[in-house]
Amino acid sequence: MPLPEVKLKALLTLLAATSLVSPCNAFFRNLMISDTAMARVDPIVNRGEPAMHVHHLTGGGNLNFESTGETLSTSNCTNSILTQDKSAYWAPWMYFEHENGTVQDVKLALGLTAYYKFETRGNTGGDVEYSVFPKGLKMLSGDSSKRNWTSPWPVPAQSLWGPEDTTQEALQEKAMGFNCMNYESGKNEPSFAYPWLRNKDYLDAHCTEGVRAEIIFPSCWDGKNLDSDDHKSHTAFPTLIQDGVCPETHPIYLPILFYETIWQTNAFKDLPGRFVLANGDPTGYGYHADFIAAWDDGVQEQVRDNPQCTGLTTDGVVENCPVFQGRIQSQQEAASCKLTLPSSIAGEQTDGIMEGLPGDVKISGVQHDPGSPGGSSETYAPSSSVPASRSSAEATATDTSDYYHSAATTASPTTFATSPPPAQSQYPSTTTTTYTSGKYVVEMVLVDMVQTVTATTAPTMTHTVVVDGTGESARAKSRIRARKHVRNHGHY
């Protein structure tokens, strides 16, 4: 099968977008392929019983109503490519509500990417305690019941944040986003610029390759409790979400964990209806995600301490990390890890066309941007090729650019992905990633489960193409080489 044209275009656009930013990251990228199940399971919030809504479940194969770090550790498989990781990662599934009220699942592109960032934080004077995720640590980011924005909007430049911008709720609501994937026009949106789900007209017009949902976890820990009554108060956000200082009550600095998931919302282009999260939320403000740590003992420490794994120039590529070597499974193997669901939900339909959301979840909330009062109108933009809301959305992005595009946040790894229609591949699968390496932005494209393409704007431009030996990859490789040629003699 030749590479679909869309992928090539994506690659071209991304290579062209390479640019200079400041250094910062020490991270690795952990890919969960597809899902282990699409089911009402949540052993943190709904322990011992079916969860209220359907989650995109990933990670250790032992995930069930009762999971703990210990039980997850005995999983006989994981859908992470990193077999030493049996941690569980989950977030609500995304659905589409048709005009007639029926609900249909939205397909994933690839799966879920969990970023682990290990850099030291700013303003801490170096005299603070860092910890990897202790086995069994449970974390929850976001609030399923939220349907509106509560902190100051537009978000001021980060240097101007006052107390009302840095309450835990205010930090939390800035720690998520839903961004357009749009390679064709090079209009991928920056991470965390749009912390709400924009309406269908906007998505149809702009998000040609889908929408990337992203969420950051709190990275300050009380150092004692693996969980708490609200599943949150044992953790906290540092003052700048991905940087800054931890509160005195939560003095231990954890790695910064965040998830990215690309939803193929573009498959519903021009169909009347709206997108809605499995928890009945059409606004996006109620997005949330969960984590239970269950790494093999010592692995996180070795990865953190090895410059080949999380040094400033590793680019997050797990294949180059000696700690993972020989322990990375293929994407096909990872995707074959499936849960054995508890009998009470084993037969429940969670995909296809359904009368309503699984778990009898009712849709509540009205889509609106953070600047409008919640519930002010049924839809916040008329249907036209250039929705009225578009300008307000764009103005918002501009207003907040000091924060969202500050050196620290620009340096955050961001994943951009596109994918062919689901029918073309079992695990729809072009993931492209942009992140910093030294002073340069590096872009990576993972195509059809086998390729890693790295392009670097070093003064002497280097390109690394890592592929397996299949004919498929070889063809792709030659196309990439062809592009390299153009690029060498074109833009540079």
Return residues touching ligand NAG (CB under 6 A).
61, 76-77, 98, 100, 102, 146-148, 340, 353, 373-375
Which residue's beta carbon is nearest to the bound ligand NAG? 374
Inter-residue contact 430 to 446 (CB < 8 Å): yes
79 vs 456, which CB is nearer to ligand NAG? 79
We find the least distance from the C-beta atom of residue 169 to ligand NAG, in angstroms, to be 10
Q: How far is the CB of 140 from ligand NAG (least distance, A)?
A: 17
Task: Return all residues near 229 (Cβ < 8 A) that are at least 6 apart.
Answer: none
Q: Closer to ligand NAG at the Cβ: 142 or 190?
A: 142
The secondary element (H helix, E strand) that includes residue 414 is strand 414-418
State which residue, 76 or 460, has the beta carbon closest to ligand NAG.
Answer: 76
The 3-state secondary structure of 300-344 reads: HHHHHHCHHHHCCCCCCCHHHCCCCCCCECCHHHHHCCCCCCCHH
Alpha helix positions (H), 178-271? 200-206
Q: Which is nearer to ligand NAG, 75 or 436 (CB)?
A: 75
Tell me how far apart the alpha carbons of residues 321 and 308 are, in angstroms, rounded to a whole number: 5
Kind of pairing, strands 256-263 and 108-117? antiparallel
The phi and psi torsions of 368 (rounded to 5 degrees) equal: -165, 155
Q: Which amino acid is at 423?
A: A
Rounded least distance, CB 333 to ligand NAG, Å: 8
Asked if 223 and 131 count as a contact pair (C-beta separation under 8 A), the reply is yes
Cβ nearer to ligand NAG, comparing 167 with 340: 340
Q: Which is nearer to ligand NAG, 79 or 414 (CB)?
A: 79
What is the nearest approach in angstroms of ligand NAG to the Cβ of residue 338? 8
List the one residue out of 201, 197, 235, 195 whose CA is nearest residue 218: 235
The alpha carbon torsion through 466, 469, 470, 474 (nearest 10 deg) reads 60
Closest approach of Cβ 392 to ligand NAG, in Å?
17
Nearer to ligand NAG, 100 or 343 (CB): 100
Min dist. Cβ of residue 440 to ligand NAG (A): 40
The nearest distance, CB 423 to ligand NAG, in angstroms, is: 17
The HSE-up count of residue 49 (CA atoms within 13 Å, CB side) is 5
- 91 CB neighbour count, 10 Å cutoff: 25
Q: Rg of the Cα trace of the chain?
A: 21
Min CB(181)–ligand NAG separation in Å: 24
- Indicate the residue among 101 and 307 with the shorter CB distance to ligand NAG: 101
The Cα 247–Cα 375 span in angstroms is 34
Q: Looking up tokens 């610029």, which residue turns up?
A: 193
Residue 428, token pair as written in the block: 């729809």
Closer CB to ligand NAG, 372 or 410, in the complex: 372
At 169, list the tokens. 């709720």
> To the nearest whole angstrom, how small is the minimum distance from the Cβ of residue 347 to ligand NAG?
17
What does the block give as tokens for 353? 């066309």
